[in-house]
Chain A
Amino acid sequence: MDWQGQKRVEQLMQILLVISGVVAVVVGYTTESFRTMMLIYAGGVVLTTLVTVPNWPFYNLHPLKWLDPSEAEKHPKPQVVVAPKKKFSKK
Chain B
Amino acid sequence: MHTFGYRANALLTFAITALAFICAIASFSDKFSNQNPSAEIQILNINRFKKQSHGNDEVSLTLDISADLQSLFTWNTKQLFVFVAAEYETPKNSLNQVSLWDAIIPDKELAKFRIQVSNKYRFIDQGQNLRGKEFNLTLHWHVMPKTGKMFADKIVMPGYSLPDAYR
Contacts and interface: CB of A to CB of B under 8 A. Distances in A.
Interface of A: 1, 6, 9-10, 13-14, 17-18, 21, 24-25, 28-29, 32-34, 37, 41, 45, 48-49, 52-55
B22 A41 contact: yes
A10 B14 CA distance: 10
B95 interface: no
A13 B75 contact: no
B18 A37 contact: no
B29 interface: yes
Interface string B1-34: 1101001101100110011011001100100000
Given A1-B1, A41-B19, A17 B14 contact: yes
A25 B25 CA distance: 8
Interface residues of B, number: 20
30 contacts: A1-B1, A6-B1, A9-B7, A10-B10, A13-B14, A17-B11, A17-B14, A17-B18, A18-B18, A21-B19, A21-B21, A21-B22, A25-B22, A28-B26, A29-B26, A32-B74, A33-B75, A34-B26, A37-B22, A41-B22, A45-B11, A45-B15, A48-B11, A49-B11, A52-B7, A53-B4, A53-B8, A53-B11, A54-B4, A55-B4
Contacts of A41: 18-19, 22
B53 to A, nearest CB: 52
A25 B26 CA distance: 8
A9 B1 contact: yes
A38 to B, nearest CB: 9
B142 interface: no
Contacts of B74: 32
Nearest to B146: A34
A10 to B, nearest CB: 5
The 7 closest A-B pairs by CB, nearest first: A32-B75, A6-B1, A21-B18, A45-B15, A53-B7, A17-B18, A34-B146
